[in-house]
Structure 1
Amino acid sequence: MVGYLSARLEEALPVLREILSSEFGLAIVLGIFVLEGAMLLYFIPSEGIIPAAVFLTDGSPLDVFVLLTVAVVGATAGQFALFTAAKRLGRERLLDSRWVRIGDERLGRFDSWFENWGPIVVPVSNSLLFTRGMLTIPAGLAELDDREFLLLSAIGTLSFESLLAGATLFLLSV
């Protein structure tokens, strides 16, 4: 089975590299990050997007800078859409919607993080595995200022994606 998957990956890499280097490549990556930021991307682990893109572009400094910029803009836009939905719809309507896949109990844990620590948990949570974006809804429900949320979200995303890009570049150099 591993051999089969490895062979499929080897076949897919040139196609993925071509897509990424096409005129629509960055738009596709942007769209993926918007979906990831809005917590709508369930079929691709967000932790694999930047490493794969860095690997496929051979990790030149300009490519990494562009990828990080696209990642931050896209994820922040997606998180802002979810943040705005939380602000406008409120907790119950948001949880009742089909597209929000977080339960009341789990959301309650993140609500308490926000209540205890305040807005600083937005970039902190965006910088950590498994909690990325989870403070977006509590921040919206708390009616955090839009500009403050955008800045905090972007800072957290930049730190997380930079760590992933750096780790990938390190692994490529070994």
Structure 2
Amino acid sequence: MESWIKETLDQLGVFGVGVLMLIENIFPPIPSEVVMPWAGYSVSQGNSSFIGVVVAGSIGSFIGAAVWYYLARWIGKERLAGWVERHGAWLTISPKDLDSVDAWFERWGAAAVLGCRLIPGLRTLISVPAGFADMPQGRFLLYTAIGTVIWTAALAGLGWWLGDNYGDLAGPLGWVSTAVVAGLLLIWLWRLVGQHAGRKSTN
């Protein structure tokens, strides 16, 4: 995948940065940890401007995050709650959990969105509960924009600073992203097993 990303960026330049960062937020397996450091590397080679790659990457990433947020808002909590009542056991969630998410976002929503936009593996995911919790649009978009610009600028800046060694950045960040996703999967498995064991004990 890395070679395809680099070929796309070589051919499309700054426009390609925006397109790939948009796709990265809709299809997370495309990592921003590869896209933005390469964009920073292209700046170090005089092929792009730093402001250009940061603006393009931020716009693409912002649009992708907004897509998930508005999709979740469109589905809505009531429709989700009905689905959870029928199928939530496999996700180890209940309608009561949805109420807890609402309360949590009411208190920590802005900080959660801003913080998670800076964490590989959670950058895209945070848009979904924010939408389901009906987090105010203005707050969501503002903190998403701030977090997105910080993230893209940091990765591009590191790629620019590292120059020919920009690839050294993708590996460690890629492991962080994998560890976060793996951790979420393990939590889900732990809850699923515990839920199944609890049902057996009550029978």
What is the percent sequence identity of the aligned residues? 24
Residues 127 and 160 in structure 1, CA contact (< 8 A), matched pair in contact too: yes
* 1:120 aligned onto 2:111: yes
| Structure possessing the higher radius of gyration over alpha carbons | 2
Q: How far 1:17 sits from its partner (Å)? A: 6.0
Q: Which runs of 4+ in 1 moved over 4 A?
A: 15-18, 59-62
Change (3 A) 1:105 1:47: farther
Aligned ranges 1:153-168 → 2 under 5 Å: 153-168=144-159
Q: How far 1:18 sits from its partner (Å)? A: 4.2
Deviations 1:6-32 (A, max 9, x none): xx96xx96x5564134xxx51x32222
| Matched position secondary structure for 2:72 | helix
Select the residue among 12, 32, 37 that pairs with 1:20. 12
Mark the runs of 5 or more structure 1 residues left unpaired by the alignment.
1-7, 97-102
1:130 maps to: 121
2:175 maps to: none
More helix by proportion, 1 or 2? 2
1:5 maps to: none
Q: How many residues align?
A: 150
1:72 maps to: 58
Change (3 A) 1:66 1:105: farther
Mark the runs of 5 or more structure 2 residues left unpaired by the alignment.
84-89, 166-203
Q: TM-score, normalised by structure 2?
A: 0.60
Q: TM-score, normalised by structure 1?
A: 0.68
Change (3 A) 1:48 1:114: farther
* 1:35 aligned onto 2:23: yes
Select the residue among 164, 167, 170 that pairs with 2:161. 170
Q: How far 1:154 sits from its partner (Å)? A: 1.0
